[in-house]
Each structure stands twice: as structure tokens, then as C-alpha cells.
Amino acid sequence: MLDQIQGMKENLQKKLDSITVEGESGGGRVRIIANGNQVVTNITIVDSLLAPENGEELEDLLITAFNRATEEAKIKAGEEAQNMMSGIIPPGMNLPNLF
């Protein structure tokens, strides 16, 4: 059974690599795209935020967008893990932090 769980974990990681999530802030002025494994793959920033006087605002917007993207990735990872495990774990049984 441990080999089966290890294989499922590897399959989950591959599946999460193919899932895209987005975190946005500032009304879309900052967008961060990540995969389901919480790896950032793209950042988009409107040009006006790149001016030196907007440095602090840009930092705040980046933090917010990053946190939103990683939270969405965590949710997707949990959903995928639950879907994958539904075939081998009896209904109602909860195994937190298995993956």
C-alpha cells in the first residue's frame, strides 16, 4: 500500500504542475500566475507601478497577489489529493497531511 501511496503522490505532483492558478491585486494591476505546486510561472505588472515613487505600493501589491496565488494553489492541491484518495480511503475517513 505504501508503494501505491508513493505512486499517487508522484502523480499528484505531476497533475499539480499542469494546474494554473492566479493571484491578482490592485484591480488587476499586478497578476501572479503559479502552478498547483505553488511555483510562480509568470508575473505581470502595469508599467505605471514601475516608477520609483510607486515602490512601496508595488511591494504591497506583489505580496497580496502572491499570497492569493499560493492560497488558490493550496486549495487546488487539497481538492486534487482528495479526489485521488477517494478511490482507496473509505468514505468519512480523513487523513490530514498525507501529502
**Gap between the Cα atoms of 32 and 23, Å rounded:** 5
Q: Which three cell numbers stand for residue 49?
A: 507601478
Helices 2-17 and 55-85, axial angle in degrees (round to 10): 140
| CA-wise closest residue to 24 among 10, 9, 37, 34 | 34
Q: Which domains does the chain have, with CATH numbers?
A: 14-81 (3.30.1310.10)
CB-based contact 35:20 (threshold 8 Å):
yes
Q: According to the model, what pLDDT value does residue 31 have?
A: 98
pLDDT digits 0-9 by tens, 47-91: 999 999 999 999 999 999 999 999 999 999 999 988 887 766 666
**Gap between the Cα atoms of 70 and 61, Å rounded:** 14
Confidence band for 97, pLDDT divided at 50, 70 and 90: low
